[in-house]
Amino acid sequence: MTHVQDDIKLAYIIAIAIMMLFVCFIIFVVLMYNRRQLLYIKEKQLQEAEYQNKLLQKELEKQKSIEQERERISHDMHDDLGAGISALKLQAEFLKQKVQDDESKSDIDELLKTSEEMNISMREMLWSLNSGNDTLGNFIDYAIAYADGFLRKTSIKLLTESVDIVAETPISTEQRRNMFLCLKEAVNNAYKHSRADTMKLSFLQSEKEFLMKIHDNGIGINHEKREGNGLRNMKRRMQEQNGNCEVSSDEQGTVLYFRIIIESA
């Protein structure tokens, strides 16, 4: 009887050992499968990262090519158009010295005025094309210089302020260009319609938000009239840059707010 019980115990032990071995085998197979799955996933991730790096490299090369083309166009315009406009001005001034009648001199003065306007437009275009100007500091310096040069010929006094500006902050070419065109439109409108004697140009930065504020002390906007093309164009330009243009106006003057979220150049 004791011998039979020993055989039964031995059979149980053997059965348990076999079951343990089987469980260990199952665990080993699962672990190996999971390891292979993890290796497969990592390999796919590496392949995807390599593919993304290649796409990024191609995009960087494309951007570099575009930047080089912009620089080439900028240099060509400066060398060719700039020289042509300068030659035209010299010829007009020489011709003005030779003519006698006032009507011809008046025509030549108009020609000189047009050539000067072309020269200014060319300089603005060159500034816009130059990627070296794609920072807030360069934009603000150029905007102030433009407004000061424009208003110096008028009775409007210009005040400026910059608050929390990080001059090295990059700004995309499109944002810089559209902000400048809005500034030009706003300054011109103030000169033509506001009857102001003072304009304050303010620039404020809060992390990635950039605000340009233009405040005049003129007569304000007549809200009974339809919104003009200039204001509509400014609002459209800001919307295209995922920003906004707001107007506040009363008998104490007009304030224009231009807000954008700064993008890398």
SS (H, E, C) the chain: CHHHHHHHHHHHHHHHHHHHHHHHHHHHHHHHHHHHHHHHHHHHHHHHHHHHHHHHHHHHHHHHHHHHHHHHHHHHHHHHHHHHHHHHHHHHHHHHHHCCCHHHHHHHHHHHHHHHHHHHHHHHHHHHHCHHHCEHHHHHHHHHHHHHHHHCCCCCEEEEEEECCCCCCECCHHHHHHHHHHHHHHHHHHHHHHCCCEEEEEEEEECCEEEEEEEECCCCCCCCCCCCHHHHHHHHHHHHCCCEEEEEEECCEEEEEEEEECCCC
Exposed (0-12), middle (13-18) or buried (19+): which is 233, by Cβ within 10 Å?
middle
Average pLDDT estimate for 142-149: 92
| CATH classification number, 133-265, choose in 1.10.1240.10, 3.30.565.10, 3.90.1010.10, 3.30.428.10 | 3.30.565.10
Question: Which of 12-16, 206-210, 250-254, 257-261: highest mean pLDDT?
Answer: 257-261
Sheet with 244-250: strands ordered across: 157-163, 198-206, 209-216, 253-261, 244-250
Average pLDDT estimate for 227-255: 87
Residue 68 CA to residue 63 CA, distance in Å, equals: 9
- pLDDT surpassing 90 at residue 212: yes
Which has the higher per-residue pLDDT, 237 or 34?
237
Domain residue limits, the chain = 1-129, 133-265
Tell me what pLDDT residue 4 has: 64
Model confidence over 67-100: pLDDT tens digits? 666 666 666 555 566 566 666 667 777 777 777 7
Share of the chain above pLDDT 70, in %: 82
**Residue type, position 180, single letter:** F
What tokens appear for 118 in the block?
Answer: 């072309």
Exposed (0-12), middle (13-18) or buried (19+): which is 174, by Cβ within 10 Å?
middle
Residue 72 CA to residue 75 CA, distance in Å, equals: 5
- HSE toward the beta carbon, residue 19, CA cutoff 13 A: 6
- pLDDT surpassing 90 at residue 224: no
Average pLDDT estimate for 224-248: 85
